[in-house]
Amino acid sequence: MKKSQKNILKVQGFAVSPMAIGERRRAILPLGAVFAAGLFVVTQAAFAEEQTLPAVTVKANAEQQDGYRASKTRVGKVVQDPHDVPQAITTITRSLMEEQEANSLREALRNVSGLTFNAAEGGRSGDNMMLRGFYTFGDMYLDGIRDTAQYNREVFNLEQVDVLRGAAAMLFGRGQAGGVINQVSKAPMLFGINKLSAGIGTDGYDELKADLNQRIGETTAFRINMMSRNEGSSRTNPYTDTEPEVHRMGFAPSISFGLGTDHEVTLSHLWVKTQDRADYGIPFLNGKPNHKMAEAGNYYGVDGNFDDSETNISTFNYLFKISPDTQWRTVLRAANYKRAYWAVAGQGNLTANSTQQQAKTRQFETDNYVLQSDLNTAFTFLGMRNEVITGFEYLREDSTRWGLRNLGTATNPVYKAGMFTTAPASTYKGDTYSAYVQDTLEFIPDWKLTTGIRRDQMSSDIVAVQGGVARDVSGDFGENSYRLGLSWQPTAAQHYYLGWSDSFSPTADLYQLTGNAYPAERSKVTELGAKWLFMDGNLAFRTALYHAVKDWERSTDLDASANDSLLTRKRESDGIEFELAGRITDNWEVFSGVSFINAKILEASPTAINTDAVGQMPRNTPRRTANLWTTYNIGWGFKVGGGVEYKSERSGFVPSRGYTPNFVPSYVRWDAMVAYEQPKYTVKFNVQNLFDKLYYDALYDNGGFTIPGQARRFILSTEYKF
């Protein structure tokens, strides 16, 4: 069912109806394809005439795509093998995402053990996860640059996703104890890779993608990635037959100059447009999800609901290879995020009218500007090898958030983008200046000591309407962050490490109104880990044992009153993780993770609603999670595969009932795949949620509702390479 044509998106001077947008979507994609194809033909011709150019040494003449084991990462500020990083890292490669038909960042992150999804309400909608029991909505990055705006991310332009677990403020700035989620964009290359793919599936699923790369000169190449995807749902409104919908488009051009030389420059842009009808799930009944409603496939949105966004991110990247051991990298980025939505959350005793009264409305616009410069060098001093990285960063953030005005009645509300209640509900402006230095010293053969320090100076101003009263709160924080690690690598295939790191978060950028009334959130993480490589380096196995403590935690509810802005005074999380990724034989690949978490609230804030939460498990933190995906080439071009995802019981905090939380039951979901692969094309058939298990995927962290997971879905896709 299509969205109501009455909904109009108005953000800074433009007004477009969904019908017009739908028509433009159908027009833009062919035009984009024609443009890309035309540009591709022109450059092919230009390249064909390029016979007189000097020869260039290229290390590869075909795409070198990682399997399930990633061979490199830049999450530690320099390009290195994840095996050599003295901290736990989970890397989701493009091969893994493509085989699973994981098309959004949320779907890709199902491969990360110890990670759960939060449902949204108010100002925290979009990608919102918990990792090791700590929230991550302030720890999202794109190519090492902060990407914390509230939107739904796609993976069509991603090479891989790196999850650096544990505190990482020394490398990235303010953040949490759970870790950093860094998206790595595809980049132009001097050898051609060109792919066109299409997929169709049940419940209105269809997707088109293109990945075009072309060398256009001796050291110049461009790359274009495009995507269009639509999804329906098996769930419907029992009163109106409305169903959740997903409509997303993306376009990501990039061009690189000087590839293979001492001066490499890359210009890139990412444009993503979403037009969804969000699913806010079902309410709880007697502390558990209302299973009867979920079994009936009930959805409580209405036809007029919308969730529309547009993201534009422009990046300039300059890499100067000063010497074989010294590189200087500078990045400039300007990002603009627009989003407006009206959603309905199923809460309480639901009827045709009461569902429409649970309106969640927001509109916001965010502008971020970043200058980041890093220098890394290696040298020998007094017979000891030093690997030094140092750099600075400036971040400017400017965000405005509005509430939408009801244009209808109490029982039949109508909301439209651009039709605000009053003045902005909140504005946020922040400036952050940062500088850091880290040295990894090999003080005796095979033993390395890593020490690092970072200084962040952050000033911010928030103006927010709370309880009908405008409040102006300033926050100024100057914080140091540290990293310390000891590594022993007796052979190239073994790595044992002990690390300590901390992080801070004033949460001013998350619209909290505490200002300088409390210290910044502080987290300290100690981690003991080991990494091994087997099968000539094709199979990686790691394990990590960690202890994390967090002080001065702010509430995660934007609407909390000033007295309730602290949730807990102190909490901890202890855990152990295991992960296996790579190729066991030439025909058998596997990616698997297991996580055990024992998290506990140690001290309650004096102003907290529920002081009896002390000793309890924090919300949305399962004690056990596990994931597995494996494939096997059976011959004659056929590959079969499958996977499983498991999460144990989780709780949701309900502030109005004392510490009697709601609980989401544990679940097991199975997926399967069969593919026929040839050098020029691939045909693939995926079944997601093979046994049509009813499970609850995302939990609103204040306990009001939970969202059922993906019902069984069949997807048939094909890819053509040229």
Mean pLDDT of the chain: 85
Q: Taking 80 as the threshold, does the pLDDT of residue 244 lie above it? A: yes
472: β partners: 463
The per-residue pLDDT for 138 is 80
Domains, the chain, ordered by start: 9-721 (2.40.170.20)
* Strand residues in 232-280 grouped as ranges (E): 246-257, 263-276
Question: Is the pLDDT confidence value at 3 over 80?
Answer: no
- Given a cut of 80, is residue 2 above it in pLDDT? no
pLDDT at residue 675 in the model: 98
**What pLDDT is stored for residue 11 in this prediction?**
37
Q: What average pLDDT does this structure show over 251-265?
A: 98
pLDDT at 193: 83
Q: What is the pLDDT of residue 17?
A: 40
- At residue 189, the pLDDT reads 96
Q: In the predicted model, is pLDDT for residue 568 greater than 60? A: yes
- DSSP per-residue codes, 612-660: GGTTSPPTT--SEEEEEEEEEEEETTEEEEEEEEEE--EEE--GGGSS-
**Banded model confidence at residue 611, pLDDT cuts 50, 70, 90:** low
* Residue burial 670-692, b: 16+ Cβ < 10 Å; e: rest: bbebbbeeeeeebebebbbbbee
- Which of 294-303, 326-335, 605-614 reaches the highest mean pLDDT? 326-335
pLDDT at 19 over 90: no
Which one-letter amino acid corresponds to residue 583? R
Q: Tell me, what's the pLDDT at 350?
A: 53
- pLDDT for position 655: 57
Q: What is the DSSP string of 407-449?
A: -S-SSS----TT-BSSS-SEEEEEEEEEEEEEEEEEEETTEEE
**3-state DSSP assignment of residue 278:** coil
Pair 702, 653: CB distance under 8 Å: yes
Q: Hey, which of 60-69, 453-462, 472-481, 516-525 has the most confident mean pLDDT?
A: 453-462
pLDDT one-digit tens code per residue, 343-372: 887 665 555 444 445 678 889 899 999 999
Q: What pLDDT is attached to residue 20?
A: 39
* Contact (Cβ atoms closer than 8 angstroms) between residue 218 and residue 114: no
Residue scoring higher pLDDT (99 or 521): 99
Give me the mean pLDDT over the 441-452 stretch: 97
pLDDT over threshold 80, residue 45:
no
Closest CA to 88 of 164, 4, 185, 11: 164
Query: Is a pLDDT exceeding 70 seen at residue 515?
Result: no
- Per-residue pLDDT, 413: 87
Residue 507 confidence (pLDDT): 63
Asked if 509 contacts 428 with a C-beta cutoff of 8 angstroms, the reply is: yes
What pLDDT sits at residue 703? 64
Distance (Å, whole) CA 593 – CA 10: 44
Please tell me the predicted confidence (pLDDT) of residue 489: 98
User: What confidence score (pLDDT) does residue 427 get?
Assistant: 84
Please give the share of the chain, as a percent, with pLDDT higher than 90: 61
Choose the weakest-confidence range: 80-84, 97-101, 415-419. 415-419
Instruction: Specify the pLDDT at position 118.
Output: 87
> What was the pLDDT predicted at 569?
77
The 3-state secondary structure of 58-96 reads CCCCCCCCCCCCCCCECCCCCCECHHHCCCCEEEEEHHH
Instruction: Tell me how long the chain is.
Output: 722
Q: Which of 44-48, 75-79, 245-249 has the lowest mean pLDDT?
A: 44-48
User: Residue 31 — pLDDT band, cuts 50, 70, 90?
Assistant: very low
* Euclidean distance between CA atoms 154 and 106, whole angstroms: 8
DSSP structure class, residue 35? H
Report residue 58's pLDDT band, with 50, 70 and 90 as the boundaries: very low
Least confident window among 99-108, 512-521, 523-532: 512-521
Residue 39: band (very low, low, confident or very high) from pLDDT cuts 50, 70, 90: very low
| Candidate from 79-83, 607-611, 613-617 with smallest mean pLDDT | 607-611
Most confident of 32-46, 652-666, 668-682, 695-709: 668-682
Work out the percent of the chain whose per-residue pLDDT is above 70: 81
| pLDDT top residue among 183 and 565 | 183
Least confident of 192-196, 411-415, 663-667, 694-698: 411-415
Whether the per-residue pLDDT at 646 is higher than 50: the answer is yes
Backbone angles phi, psi at 299, to 5 degrees: -125, 140
With cut-offs at 50, 70 and 90, classify the pLDDT of residue 581: very high
Q: Express each pLDDT in 483-494 by its tens digit.
A: 999 999 999 999
Concatenating the DSSP letter of every residue in 654-678 gives: -GGGSS--EEEPPEEEEEEEEEEE-
Sequence-separated contacts (24+) of 347-352 with Cβ below 8 Å: 347/283, 347/704, 347/705, 348/283, 350/283, 350/293, 350/300, 352/239, 352/240
Residue 622 in contact with residue 663, Cβ under 8 Å?
Answer: no
Mean pLDDT of 40-59: 39
For 261-275, 391-405, 501-515, which range has the lowest pLDDT when averaged over its residues?
501-515
Indicate if the pLDDT at residue 654 is higher than 80. no
Using the predicted structure, report yes or no on whether residue 46 has a pLDDT greater than 60. no
pLDDT the model gives residue 567: 59
Residue 234 reports pLDDT greater than 70:
yes
Max mean pLDDT among 4-8, 23-27, 707-711 falls in 707-711
Sign of CA pseudo-dihedral 508, 512, 517, 520: negative
Residue 120 has pLDDT above 80, yes or no: no
**pLDDT value at residue 151:** 87
pLDDT at 600 over 80: yes
